[in-house]
């Protein structure tokens, strides 16, 4: 089988070219931060003290692989007649905790500001991205967002069709202080997943917005609802900066407004 070069593959592709970005995109810029090995070495596993033993037993540093395996085990173990339901529940909880550890580690290790990336690196990145008309990302970090926000982003081809979060960036002026403040809004037509919470949490920790909102037509998924019941876990998932929290809510398409009694945390309901 002949392996095409990148340029030959571009030439052979149809008019619209699609790109799906994974963690290799981030690793290419900062391998000392974004490789699974580096994330593993810098992760705080205090919430799951035996997590390192799980990674060692599986012979991997791949967080996503471990999470998928634990979720799979929790489903399979419930099939056995003599299995304890509490064990399956504990395994699911551990999978969710490891997801949170991964998101927090990325946020803590992430470059602090856009100028942490050089102009030359941005130029190389944009030159690569300009080959594609539609771009999707699976990453928790904000590197793609930073690349899009550079001054010469308008030289890229049809960047308005790219898919990335946050969906809406609002620039607000505080009426009292007259300071400019940032508002991030992410939207979803499906139930809010833990991955979506992790994404906006990373953005919020990097951009320090006045307000960060995650809105869905279906509200949080069952998995997320279970996590949000516990106060400590809810604070871990939604808190960013000092005293700020991500707002989760359901959008009613009939009234074209947020359903007030779905807003979390509770203290933010009066805001809407």
Please work out, in degrees rounded to the nearest 5, the angle formed at the alpha carbon of residue 37 by the alpha carbons of 31 and 38.
55
> Which letter does DSSP use for residue 193 in this model?
P
Q: What is the mean pLDDT of residues 8-36?
A: 86
Q: Which stretch of 19-33, 138-152, 160-174, 258-272 has the lowest confidence by average pLDDT?
A: 160-174
Taking only the tens place, the pLDDT of each residue in 63-93 is 999 999 999 999 898 788 777 788 888 999 9
Please tell me the distance from the alpha carbon of residue 61 to that of residue 39, in angstroms, as a whole number: 8
pLDDT at residue 231 in the model: 78
Q: What is the mean pLDDT of residues 115-140?
A: 83
pLDDT at residue 253 in the model: 81
Establish if 200 belongs to a structural domain.
yes
Please tell me the distance from the alpha carbon of residue 24 to that of residue 45, in angstroms, as a whole number: 24
Domain count, the chain: 2
Q: Are residues 260 and 188 in the same domain?
A: yes
Q: Are residues 87 and 189 in the same domain?
A: no
Q: Are residues 264 and 197 in the same domain?
A: yes
Q: Are residues 176 and 105 in the same domain?
A: no
Closest CA to 249 of 201, 163, 186, 194: 186
Yes or no: say if 99 and 67 are a contact pair by the CB < 8 Å rule: yes
Establish if 76 belongs to a structural domain.
yes
Taking only the tens place, the pLDDT of each residue in 172-196 is 666 676 666 778 888 887 888 888 8
pLDDT at residue 165 in the model: 47
pLDDT at residue 163 in the model: 43
What residues make up the domain containing 77? 32-109
Q: Are residues 268 and 170 in the same domain?
A: yes
Yes or no: say if 103 and 198 are a contact pair by the CB < 8 Å rule: yes
Quote the pTM value.
0.54
Question: Which of 87, 109, 131 delimits the end of a domain?
Answer: 109
Confidence of residue 37 (pLDDT cuts 50, 70, 90): very high
pLDDT, mean over the chain: 82
Q: What is the mean pLDDT of residues 37-41?
A: 94
Residue 155 confidence (pLDDT) above 80: no
Write out the two tokens for 221: 């998924």
Establish if 198 belongs to a structural domain.
yes
Q: Are residues 41 and 105 in the same domain?
A: yes
Q: What is the mean pLDDT of residues 208-223?
A: 86
Confidence of residue 161 (pLDDT cuts 50, 70, 90): very low
Comparing 116 with 25, which gets the higher pLDDT? 25
Establish if 79 belongs to a structural domain.
yes
DSSP secondary structure string, 216-269? Answer: ESS-B-HHHHHHHHSHHHHHHHHEETTTEE-EEEEEETTTTEE-GGG-BSGGGG
pLDDT at residue 166 in the model: 63
Question: Which of 109, 138, 155 delimits the end of a domain?
Answer: 109
Closest CA to 214 of 244, 182, 241, 238: 238
Confidence of residue 152 (pLDDT cuts 50, 70, 90): very low
Burial, 102: exposed, middle or buried (Cβ in 10 Å; 0-12, 13-18, 19+)? Answer: buried
Q: Are residues 177 and 76 in the same domain?
A: no
Q: What is the mean pLDDT of residues 114-121?
A: 82
Residue 203 confidence (pLDDT) above 90: no
Yes or no: say if 51 and 69 are a contact pair by the CB < 8 Å rule: no
Q: Are residues 202 and 272 in the same domain?
A: yes
pLDDT at residue 156 in the model: 42
Q: Are residues 91 and 180 in the same domain?
A: no
Establish if 271 belongs to a structural domain.
yes
pLDDT at residue 41 in the model: 94
pLDDT at residue 164 in the model: 43
What angle, rounded to 10 degrees, do the helices at 194-207 and 222-229 form? 60
Please tell me the distance from the alpha carbon of residue 102 to that of residue 89, in angstroms, as a whole number: 20
pLDDT at residue 153 in the model: 39
Comparing 168 with 136, which gets the higher pLDDT? 136
Q: Are residues 179 and 266 in the same domain?
A: yes
Question: Which of 109, 137, 154 delimits the end of a domain?
Answer: 109
Establish if 127 belongs to a structural domain.
no
């Amino acid at each position: 089988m002949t392996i095409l070069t990148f340029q030959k593959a571009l030439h052979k592709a149809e008019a619209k070219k699609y790109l799906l970005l994974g963690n290799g995109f981030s690793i290419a810029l900062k391998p000392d931060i974004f490789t699974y090995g580096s994330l593993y070495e810098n992760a705080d596993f205090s919430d799951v003290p035996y997590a390192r033993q799980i990674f060692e037993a599986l012979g991997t540093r791949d967080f996503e692989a471990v999470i998928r395996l634990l979720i799979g085990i929790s489903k399979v173990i419930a099939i056995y007649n003599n299995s304890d339901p509490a064990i399956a529940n504990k395994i699911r909880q551990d999978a969710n905790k490891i997801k949170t550890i991964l998101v927090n580690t990325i946020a803590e290790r992430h470059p602090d500001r856009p100028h942490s990336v050089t102009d030359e690196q941005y130029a190389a990145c944009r030159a690569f991205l300009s080959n594609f008309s539609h771009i999707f990302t699976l990453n928790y970090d904000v590197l793609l967002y930073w690349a899009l926000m550079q001054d010469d982003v308008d030289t890229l081809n049809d960047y308005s069709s790219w898919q990335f979060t946050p969906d809406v960036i609002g620039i607000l002026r505080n009426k009292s202080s007259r300071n400019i403040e940032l508002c991030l809004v992410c939207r979803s037509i499906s139930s809010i997943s833990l991955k979506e919470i992790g994404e906006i949490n990373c953005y919020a920790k990097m951009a320090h917005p006045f307000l960060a909102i995650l809105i869905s037509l279906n509200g949080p998924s069952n998995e997320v609802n279970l996590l949000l019941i516990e106060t400590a876990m809810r604070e871990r998932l939604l808190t960013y900066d000092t005293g700020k929290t991500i707002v989760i809510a359901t959008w009613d398409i009939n009234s074209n407004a947020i359903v007030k009694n779905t807003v979390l945390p509770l203290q933010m309901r009066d805001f809407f």
